[in-house]
C-alpha cells in the first residue's frame, strides 16, 4: 500500500498582497487631514462696553479672571481645585451677611474660564453673579 507524503514542496514562495494595506493607509491619511482642517479654533470676540454700568456699594466680593485663565478671589490667587469650596463658603456667608459677588474678567481672558466660574457659582447656589464692565468710553462730542 503506498504512503501519502504530507510534506510541503520546497520551492513555494508566499507573496503578501500589500495593496489593501496601502489603501487603508491612504484612507487614514485623508481622514486625519480632513479632521485637522476642522479642528476647533478660538474665536476672537470684542465685547462692547456697557451703557448701564454703575458703582456698587456695600459688601462686594470680587472674583477676577486674568488673561492667562488664572482666578483671584479678593486679590488672592485661587487654584481651580479650590474654587468650588471657596464659592460654597462665600454663598453660605451671604446668607448671614448679604453681599454681592462680582466677576471681573480681563478682556483677553479665555471664555472657558468665564463659563467655568459662572457654572461653579450656579452649582453652589449663587443666585446672582454680577459681571463688572468698563464704563462707556469718553467721546469728544461737542
Q: Which residues contact 78 (CB under 8 A, 6 or more apart)?
A: 71, 72, 86
Residue 141 placed within a domain? no
Q: How many domains in the chain?
A: 1
Per the model's pLDDT, the better-predicted residue between 58 and 88 turns out to be: 88
- CATH no. for residue 72? 3.30.420.270
- Name the most confidently modeled range: 1-15, 50-64, 78-92, 125-139: 78-92
Q: Which residues contact 114 (CB under 8 A, 6 or more apart)?
A: 65, 103, 105
In this model, does residue 16 exceed pLDDT 90?
Answer: no
What pLDDT does residue 139 have? 46
What pLDDT does residue 124 have? 80
Question: pLDDT confidence of 10, banded at 50, 70, 90?
Answer: low
Question: pLDDT confidence of 11, banded at 50, 70, 90?
Answer: low
Percent of the chain with pLDDT over 90: 9
**For residue 99, what are the domain limits?**
60-131
Residue 27 placed within a domain? no
Amino acid at each position: 500500500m503506498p504512503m501519502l507524503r504530507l510534506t510541503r514542496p520546497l520551492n513555494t514562495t508566499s507573496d503578501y498582497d500589500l495593496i489593501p494595506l496601502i489603501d487603508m493607509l491612504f484612507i487614514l491619511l485623508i481622514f486625519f487631514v480632513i479632521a485637522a482642517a476642522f479642528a476647533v479654533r478660538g474665536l476672537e470676540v470684542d465685547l462692547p462696553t456697557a451703557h448701564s454700568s454703575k458703582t456698587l456699594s456695600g459688601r462686594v466680593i470680587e472674583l477676577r479672571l486674568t488673561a492667562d485663565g488664572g482666578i483671584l478671589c479678593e486679590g488672592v490667587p485661587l487654584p481651580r481645585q479650590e474654587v468650588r469650596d471657596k464659592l460654597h463658603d462665600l454663598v453660605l456667608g451671604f446668607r448671614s451677611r448679604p453681599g454681592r459677588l462680582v466677576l471681573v474678567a480681563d478682556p483677553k481672558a479665555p471664555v472657558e474660564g468665564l463659563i467655568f466660574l459662572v457654572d461653579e457659582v450656579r452649582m453652589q447656589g449663587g443666585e446672582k453673579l454680577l459681571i463688572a464692565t468698563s464704563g462707556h468710553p469718553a467721546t469728544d462730542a461737542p
